[in-house]
């Protein structure tokens, strides 16, 4: 397992310089034999950004680096890591940018509070509308 891990680190040492004439990494486009693990890996791959593409997930990208990242995700999932662990590992390495699921802390918190805010303010305005029934209305 350790050897596999090291091999992968090596593979990742120069992902941008990936030689396009090389065949893609073995797990880049080969599903895992365990269907449940593959499903988990697939779901995660759809939530990870291809770092060299314009707004594509690694599941959707034909870029070589996306293939390398798919291989990484599959091998880590196969090694028994949970999708959250893999995601955390990638975020540690590449920053929050890599995950399409924004963090729920720090500056991104406003993002998650926004829907509640909109709904709350909207509800207040709407209630005022109904309370004023019969008199005057202003939205």
Partner 1 sequence: MIVELGHAALWLAAAFALLQALAPWLRAPADDAERWTGLAVPAALAQALLVSLAFGSLVWAFATSDFSVKLVAENSHTMKPMLYKLSGVWGNHEGSMLLWILVMAVAGAAVSLADSPLGDRFRALVLSMQGIIALGFYAFLLAASNPFARLAIAPTQGNGLNPLLQDPGLAFHPPMLYAGYVGLSVAFAFAVAALLERRVGPAWAAAVRPWVLAAWAALGCGITLGSWWAYYELGWGGYWFWDPVENASLMPWLAATALLHSVAVLAKRDALRNWTILLAVVGFSLSMIGTFVVRSGLLTSVHAFAVDPARGAFLLVLLALYIGGALLLYALRASTVAVGEGFAPVSREGALVANNLLLAAGLGVVFVGSGYPLLVDVLGVGPISVGPPYFNATFGPLMIPLVLLMAVGPFLTWGAARTDKLARKLAVPGLLAVALALYAFAVWDVRAAFSLIGFALSAWLGVATLAILWGRMPWRTPRATWGMALAHLGVAFTLFGITASGALTRELLVNLRLGESAEVAGYTMKLVDVAPVAGANWTALEATLDVSRGGQPLTVLHPQARLYTSPMMDTTEAAIHTRINGDLYAVLGKPDGSGRWQLHVWWKPFVIWIWAGGLIMALGGALSMTARASARRSAAQPVGALVAA
CA–CA separation, 13 and 9 (whole Å): 6
Site string for partner 1, 83-102 (x = CB under 8 A): ------------xxxxxxxx
Q: Whose Cβ is closer to partner 1: residue 3's or residue 97's?
A: 97
> In whole angstroms, how close is the CB of 22 to partner 1 at the nearest point?
9
Nearest to 72 by CA among 51, 41, 40: 41
Q: Is 122 in the site for partner 1 (CB under 8 A)?
A: yes
Q: Whose Cβ is closer to partner 1: residue 5's or residue 115's?
A: 115
Phi and psi torsions of 109, nearest 5° = -60, -40
Q: Is 31 in the site for partner 1 (CB under 8 A)?
A: yes
CA–CA separation, 112 and 56 (whole Å): 22
Q: What angle do CA 35, 82, 27 make, to 5 degrees?
A: 50
Half-sphere exposure at residue 48, Cβ-oriented, CA atoms within 13 angstroms: 32
For partner 1, which stretch binds (CB under 8 A), given 7-15, 76-84, 131-139?
A: 131-139
Task: Note the residues at the interface with partner 1 (CB under 8 A).
Answer: 23-24, 29-31, 42, 46-47, 49, 54-57, 59-60, 62, 95-103, 106-108, 110-112, 114-115, 118-119, 122-123, 125-126, 129-130, 132-139
């Amino acid at each position: 397992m350790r050897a596999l891990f090291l091999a992968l680190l090596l593979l990742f040492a120069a992902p941008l310089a990936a030689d396009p004439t090389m065949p893609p990494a073995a797990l880049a486009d080969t599903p895992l034999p365990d269907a449940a693990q593959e499903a988990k890996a697939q779901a995660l791959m759809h939530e990870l950004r291809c770092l060299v593409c314009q707004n594509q997930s690694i599941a959707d990208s034909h870029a070589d680096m996306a293939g390398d990242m798919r291989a990484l995700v599959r091998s880590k999932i196969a090694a028994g890591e949970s999708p959250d662990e893999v995601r955390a590992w990638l975020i540690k390495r590449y920053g929050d940018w890599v995950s399409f699921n924004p963090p729920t802390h720090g500056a991104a918190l406003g993002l998650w509070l926004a829907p509640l805010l909109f709904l709350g303010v909207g509800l207040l305005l709407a209630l005022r509308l109904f309370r004023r029934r019969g008199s005057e209305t202003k939205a």
